[in-house]
Amino acid sequence: MFSQCADPSTLSGFNWMLCYLTSGKHLLFYYSFGTVLILLAVTAPVALGFGFMGAIAARSHSRALSLLGKAYMLMVRGIPDIIFFMFFVIALDQAFETGLHYIRCPDWTEPIRTGLEFKVCPEAKIPPNSAPQIFHQIYGFALAVVTFAIVFGAFTANVLYGAMNAVPRAQLETAEAYGLSNRQVFRRILVPQMWVYALPGLSNLWLILIKATPLLFLLGVNDIVYWAQELGGSKTDSYAYPHDDWRLWYFLFLLAFYLAFTRVSEIVLGRLTARLSHGQATMAGEAMRKAAA
Query: Which residues contribute to the site for another protein (CB under 8 A)?
Result: 8, 23-25, 27-28, 86-87, 90, 93-94, 96-97, 100, 114-120, 122-131, 133, 135-136, 138-139, 217-218, 220, 222, 229-230, 233-234, 236-242, 245, 247
CA angle 258, 264, 267 (to 5 degrees): 140
User: Which residue type, as a one-letter code, is found at position 118?
Assistant: F
Nearer to another protein, 181 or 234 (CB): 234
Is the separation of the CB atoms in 59 and 66 below 8 Å? yes
Minimum separation from the CB atom of position 26 to another protein (A): 8
Q: How far apart are alpha carbons 92 and 88 in whole angstroms?
A: 6
| Beta carbon nearer to another protein, 125 or 289 | 125
In the complex, minimum distance from the CB of residue 33 to another protein, in angstroms, rounded to a whole number: 15
Q: Which is nearer to another protein, 62 or 234 (CB)?
A: 234
Q: Which is nearer to another protein, 24 or 179 (CB)?
A: 24
Q: How far is the CB of 291 from another protein (least distance, A)?
A: 43
For the bound state, the minimum distance from the C-beta of residue 196 to another protein, rounded and expressed in Å, comes to 28
Judged by phi (left if over 0) then psi (alpha if -120 to 50, else beta), residue 253 lies in alpha
Task: Compare residues 175 and 223 and give the one whose CB is closer to another protein.
Answer: 223
Rounded to the nearest whole angstrom, what is the least distance from the CB of residue 241 to another protein in the complex? 6
User: CA 118, CA 111: separation in Å to the nearest integer?
Assistant: 9
Contact (Cβ atoms closer than 8 angstroms) between residue 140 and residue 220: yes
Q: How far apart are the first and last CA of the chain?
A: 62
- 52 vs 96 by CB, closer to another protein: 96
**Which CB atom, from 78 or from 115, has the smaller least distance to another protein?**
115
* Cβ 124 vs Cβ 100: under 8 Å: yes
